[in-house]
Structures are given as structure tokens and as C-alpha cells.
Structure 1
Amino acid sequence: MAQFYAMSDIHGHYTELLSSLENVNLNPKNNKLIFLGDYVDNGKYSYQVLNKLRQLEMKYPQQVTTLLGNHDEWFYDWLFTPNSSFNFNDFFETINSFIGIERYSELFFTTQEDESPKLDNLIRHDILQAEKNHLLLNWFKQKYQDKRYFVTESQIFVHAGIDEEMGKFWETGTAEEIFTNKYPSTTGEFFKTIISGHVHSDEVAQNAAYLGKVFWDKQSHFFIDGNTDNSNVIPILKYDTEEKSYSSYKLGNNNSWTEYRIK
């Protein structure tokens, strides 16, 4: 028997991440925790979130899996590709979590109003050269090279989704950008259960009550809410390998697991 936990769309919300982790048990060595991407942007603590995930992978190397989402890819592209289509303005909160607002202001006032490319390079250089970032950035490079999905006998864990029209050939038939950018979402039957984040659960469910919750379409899809900025919680989906049942955890005044059984 094992428990598989899935979380998604932390978006720099470090305190909320720590609160949700209190409900994850990795002491049994066959339990697993899969992060589904979008760790940066919006919240103030993207650096701290990424570093926490790195530390969890170091402590539980066979149990913790970290998949990247579209926001993580975008930040990576800006950081490691100087001629990318992104610039520092696209990652204000994420950059501040790496260098601090004081250093950001210092760099800002060393450049002229029309010297945006220069400021872009200065900020990037600061992040890449800081000794405290080396371990994290090396880990980030490794994550960028990894697959964007995690597969079990009966499940696909992915940030945004797959090309379901490809059926059993989804793994080779899905375009790379679909794994992290698929929109709109797909619901209905598939031969594996697909667990994803990326979108707002209440949008897929067409029910505002799903803010900060997991939505199951009663068929083959679980959507872990990606609207952390408004819900202020990071919901957890848990799978029991013996019972073959799913349950979700919603933090609040009456913390409880809601069970979903798939026949």
C-alpha cells in the first residue's frame, strides 16, 4: 500500500506550501509526492518555493518528483537565454525573491529610462553569479531537461495536459508545448487517469465553489486548482494504491479529506 500526493501551481506562495506539506506523509518509503509545476511568479517567495522543492528532492530522492509548468519554463528561458522574448518586467516578484527589492532598486537607478536591455542583463547577471543560487540553478537546469510528465500504470501526472486524440500514442504524439500550456482543458474518458493543474478548477467545473479545490469530472480527469493567488491555499490530491481511490484535502476551519472513488 502506498499514498501518492499531488500538488500544483504554488506560484511563489511559500507559507501556503508549508501549510499543505504538513498534510503529506513521506515516512513510508513507498509514498510519493508529485509537484505539477508553476512554482514561480505572482507570489513573493518563488526563490524559497524552488529551494524547498530542491531540498525535498534531496531528502526523498526516490519519492519526490518535480515537473515544470509554463511559468517555470518562461522564467528559465529569460534567465538562461539572453535573447529570449521575455524581460525582467515579466518576472518582477520572482526576481525580487532572488535578489531582494533593495538590490533591484539599486540596479534600477544605475540605468537610464531607455536602457531596459542593460538593466535586464544586470539583473540576470546578479542572479546567475550569486553563490547562494548555484545549487538551486543547477537543479533548475536539470529539471528543465526532465520530462514534463510522470506516469504510473494507470495515471498521467502533468502540468497542463496531453493530446488525448493521440490515444495510446499520447507520449510521443503530444507536442511539447501542450504538456505545460494546454488550453482549454479536456474532460471525459481516457484510458489513463490524468491529473493536472494549470487552470482554475471553478472554470472547468463551471462552479465557483471549486476555488481552491480539486475538481473531478467523474470520468478520467482531476484538476488541482491553479488559482492560488485568490484561494490562498494549495489543495492536495491523494491516491491510495490499495483502495484505488482518490481524495482531496482543502485547508480551512474544518480541515477534511473528501473521497472520490473511481470504479
Structure 2
Amino acid sequence: MAKIYALSDIHGHYTELMQTLKRVDLKSKENKLVFLGDYVDNGRKSFQVLNEVMLLEKKYPTQIITLLGNHDEWFYNWLFNKEPQFNFNDFFETINSFIGTKSYSKLVATVMKESDAFELDNLIRQKILQSPTNRPLLNWFTQKYQVKRYYITANQIFVHAGIDENAGDYWESITASETFTNKYPPTTGKFLKTIISGHVYSDEVAQNANYLGKIFWDRESHFFIDGHTDQSHVIPLLKYDTQENIYSSYKLISDHTWQEYIIDPKS
């Protein structure tokens, strides 16, 4: 009775991630956990989040699926590709998690003039890239950047933001690469498979404020795992029972107490 778990939009919130991971059972080698991306930015522990995902993948190599989101791509492109549309100011929290606040402040102090922002950008980038402590994680991050942005099962498509649903059966070949991680606005309604994604705010899609920090199902083919972690301070977890064909989630009913509930089509 295999189970597939999915979560998304951790955004540097390491403590919240560790709380949610307590709900995940990977003791059975049939069970899988799909990370839907956006590990970095906003929260203060992006490095720790990425490192935890990497370690889990190494511990459960056949059970962990790691997809990237738009924030992960943006940080990667700044760090490795020196994309001109990004600079160190776009990744303040993420950079601090890699090199520490003291190192960051020291680098800033060495470049006093605003006209030297380009130099500072390069100094910070090199500080991250040349650190032996960061090397294993950066090598892993590079590998993750090369893989597909979606994961397919017999019944589902797991993706950070979405796919081109107008393409029907040909979605896999026709969907533009940026759609997988940046699709907006989201699509609801019927599709060939169930699409499980993050990226957006569930309460926005549901038009119901009660979905903050929760999972919204459109009663057709879409599950939206809430991406508003900065406000909810919850990493919602979706669970799919492959034998019973039942989806469920968890809600926090006290500081450290979670209750599982079935996402019932009749509810």
C-alpha cells in the first residue's frame, strides 16, 4: 500500500520543514516524497533547507524526488550564470544562510561606493562558490538544475507551478520550460491527469482566506499546496494512498499536534 507525499514552497523555513517531515513515512521502500521546489528565499535558513533535502535524497535515493521552483532557478542563475537581471540584493536571506551575516557585512564594508555594486556582487558570489563547506551542496544543486521540472506517475503530474493544459496529450513536449516553474495565473478544471503543484497561494485560488497554510482541491484535477509560507509558517503536506486512491492532508490543531484528514470529494 504505497503512499506518495508532496510538499512545496519551503522558502528557507527550516523549522517548519522539520515539523512537516515528521508526518512522512519512508520506512516502506514503496513510499515516495516529492519536493515541488522553492527551497530558498524569504526565510533565514535556505542553506539548511537545501542541505536537508540533499541528505534525504542520499539516504532514500529511490524514494525522494526533488524538483526545482522559480526561486531556486533564479538563485542558481545569479550564482552560476551571472544573469544580469539578478543581483545580491535579490537573495539577501539566502546569501546570509550560505556565508553568515558577519561575512556578508564584512564584504559590504569593503565596497563602500554604490557604483561598486557590481564588484560586491562578484565578491559575494565568489565567497559562496569557493567555500569548501558549500561545495557538496553546490555540486548537488547543479545536478538538480539539469533534471526535468516535473514528475509523472500513472495518475498524477507533480510540478512546481503548472503545465500547458491546452496542449492536452502533448503537454510534455509543448509546455515552455518557464511554465513549469513560473506559470501564473493557475489553471483549474478537468485535465487528463491530476496536477499537484505549489507556487501560488491556496487562499487566492480558492478565493477563501481559510485556505492559508492548507491545500486546495478544485474538485476536478488540481491540488494546490499553499505557497504562502512566510505568512502561514506551515509547510502543508499532501498524501496519496495508491491502493485506496485517497488523498489526505494534515492540519495543525495545537503547537505540535497534527491531525490527518481525508480530502473527501463529498465534503
Task: Report the Cα distance in structure 1 between the residues aligned to 2:223 and 2:172, rounded to whole angstroms.
Answer: 19
Q: How many pairs are equivalent?
A: 263
* 2:119 alignment partner AA: K
Q: What is residue 6 of structure 1 aligned with on the other side? A: 6
Q: Is the 8 A contact 1:88 1:123 kept in 2?
A: yes
Q: What is residue 98 of structure 2 aligned with on the other side? A: 98
String of CA shifts for 1:152-211, please: whole Å, max 9, x gaps. 011000000000000010000100000000000000000100000000000000000000
* 1:192 alignment partner AA: K
| Cα distance, 1:83 vs structure 2 | 4.3
Task: Report the Cα distance in structure 2 between the residues aligned to 1:170 and 1:82, rounded to whole angstroms.
Answer: 31
| Cα distance, 1:94 vs structure 2 | 0.2
Q: What is residue 182 of structure 1 aligned with on the other side? A: 183
Task: Report the Cα distance in structure 1 between the residues aligned to 2:171 and 2:194, rounded to whole angstroms.
Answer: 13
Alignment of 1:64-213 (within 5 A): 64-113=64-113, 114-213=115-214
| Cα distance, 1:112 vs structure 2 | 2.3
Q: 1:258 aligns with which of 243, 254, 261?
A: 261
Change (3 A) 1:161 1:167: same
The two structures have a TM-score, normalised by structure 2, of: 0.97
| Cα distance, 1:251 vs structure 2 | 2.4
Q: What is residue 228 of structure 1 aligned with on the other side? A: 229
* 1:80 alignment partner AA: F
5+ residue gaps in structure 2?
Answer: none
Task: Report the Cα distance in structure 2 between the residues aligned to 1:179 and 1:83, rounded to whole angstroms.
Answer: 20
| Cα distance, 1:81 vs structure 2 | 1.3
SS in 1 for 2:244: coil
* 1:165 alignment partner AA: N
Task: Report the Cα distance in structure 2 between the residues aligned to 1:207 and 1:59, rounded to whole angstroms.
Answer: 39
Q: What is residue 61 of structure 2 aligned with on the other side? A: 61
Task: Report the Cα distance in structure 2 between the residues aligned to 1:225 and 1:251, rounded to whole angstroms.
Answer: 14
The runs of at least 4 aligned residues of structure 1 exceeding 6 Å deviation read: none
SS in 1 for 2:39: coil
Task: Report the Cα distance in structure 1 between the residues aligned to 2:80 and 2:95, rounded to whole angstroms.
Answer: 14
Q: What is residue 51 of structure 1 aligned with on the other side? A: 51
Task: Report the Cα distance in structure 2 between the residues aligned to 1:128 and 1:167, rounded to whole angstroms.
Answer: 42
Instruction: Calculate percent identity across the aligned residue pairs.
Output: 65
Q: Is the 8 A contact 1:4 1:33 kept in 2?
A: yes
The two structures have a TM-score, normalised by structure 1, of: 0.98
| Farther-moved stretch of structure 1 (251-260 vs 137-146) | 251-260
String of CA shifts for 1:21-78, please: whole Å, max 9, x gaps. 0000000000000000000000000000000000000000000011000000000000
5+ residue gaps in structure 1?
Answer: none
* 1:91 alignment partner AA: F
Q: Is the 8 A contact 2:77 2:83 kept in 1?
A: no
Q: Is the 8 A contact 2:43 2:93 kept in 1?
A: yes
Task: Report the Cα distance in structure 2 between the residues aligned to 1:243 and 1:251, rounded to whole angstroms.
Answer: 24
